[in-house]
Amino acid sequence: MSALQDSLPHARTRYGKQVTESIQQTRVRYVVLCVAAIATPFIYPPTWPLVLLALASYAIRMFGVEGIYHRYFSHRAFRCSRPVQFILAVIASQCGQHGPLWWASVHRHHHQNVERPDDPISPRQHGLFHSHVGWVWCERYKDTDLDRVPDFARYPEILWVNKHYTLLMLAGAALIWGLAETGAFGSSVTGGAALMWGFFLPTALGVQTVSLVNSVGHFRFLPGGYRRFDTDDDSVNRPLLALFTFGGGWHNNHHRYGASARAGFAWYEIDITYYILRLLAALGIIHDLRDRLPDDVIEEGRLGGMLGARRIGR
């Protein structure tokens, strides 16, 4: 049994599926995000305030998907209070990749069926294009399988976020527009420019970089990465991808020990999400950070003396 399965409570209640949107809505959102992102620098040429706005917005979205959707809702790598859990879910809903329960349910399905025919994002089984984007467009995966996330499906407020994440994302876009109109980003940044550089561009970039973890992060034949662990799957550690995905690119480490709050195991494997989680733990916002690697993982990965950051949690 995997570490992921070990960490899940036994489900006694059947929750069924939650319908959040039609597959047409998914496809339209995907295309609109891509087209708008490509058009952004042509409509509003880059300026320093716009670039900084884009970077800040990208950082929030990327931590949302990697730190909150992935390490918290999918793998329960730390604990937090119910109000904090709700706030984290709302922040992460800005990432443009469905709601927290949809993301976690599909991701747990991936871990439990990795590289088998039922794994939706396996390049070995379905090819690179399907693992990058094709599966998102499939009718089969559009609804949220709540029985894969019984530990969170019991919270009505999280079910609400999962169903209405598009509304929350649009509210976030309206907030960016409104802040720009009040001069919050400087007098040179209009509401329209802020919307393009602070919403469409970083959201679309985040969708693509996370999709790369699914595709090239599971494609060992492409150079630019290494496998620290000889896992049964094709997962690869990719340093450049790990930088852009705030640690998500340490995918071979993650498939060896996915329950960990840290995905960069060696000190030189930069893991921005882990650093942010440590800060949140130090501030008392989250607790029980699960960042102690088991001895067999340390030995197998030849990590003795290379762990770097002092481990603080479970």
CB of 59 vs Zn ion, minimal distance in Å: 20
Between CA 226 and CA 222 the distance in angstroms is: 10
Question: 3-state DSSP call for residue 116?
Answer: coil
- For the CB of residue 111, give the shortest distance to Zn ion in the complex, in Å: 6
- What is the rounded CA–CA span in Å between residue 255 and residue 70? 13
The answer to whether 57 and 132 are in contact (CB under 8 A) is: no
Q: Of 110 and 278, which CB lies nearer to Zn ion in the complex structure?
A: 110
Q: Which is nearer to Zn ion, 75 or 189 (CB)?
A: 75
Separation of CA 186 from chain center:
30
Gyration radius (Cα) of the chain, Å? 19
Strand intervals (E) in 37-166 = 144-145
SS3 229: coil
CB closest to Zn ion, residue no: 258
Angle in degrees, CA 74, 139, 245, rounded to 5: 40
Measured in Å, how far apart are the chain's first and last C-alpha atoms? 20
Per-residue interface string for the shown chain with Zn ion, residues 60-99, x marking contact by CB under 5 A: ----------------------------------------
Distance set, CA 194 to CA 40, 42, 176, 200, 270 (Å): 10, 14, 7, 9, 30
258 touches Zn ion (CB under 5 A): yes
Stretch that binds Zn ion, among 91-99, 174-182, 202-210, 255-263 (CB under 5 A): 255-263
- Tell me the closest approach of the beta carbon of residue 73 to Zn ion, in angstroms: 10
Count the residues of the shown chain that bind Zn ion, applying the rule CB under 5 A: 1
Question: Of 83-91, 197-205, 253-261, 265-273, which segment contacts Zn ion by CB under 5 A?
Answer: 253-261
Structure tokens at 270: 């930069």
Residue 226: strand pairing partners: 237
Instruction: Please identify, using beta-carbon distances, which residue of 120 and 258 lies nearer to Zn ion.
Output: 258
In the bound state with Zn ion, the residue whose beta carbon lies nearer, of 65 and 169, is: 65
Nearer to Zn ion, 47 or 231 (CB): 231
| Least distance to Zn ion, CB of residue 175, Å | 30
Q: How far is the CB of 64 from Zn ion (least distance, A)?
A: 15
The reply to whether 225 sits near Zn ion by the rule CB under 5 A is no
Q: Give residues in contact with Zn ion (CB under 5 A).
A: 258
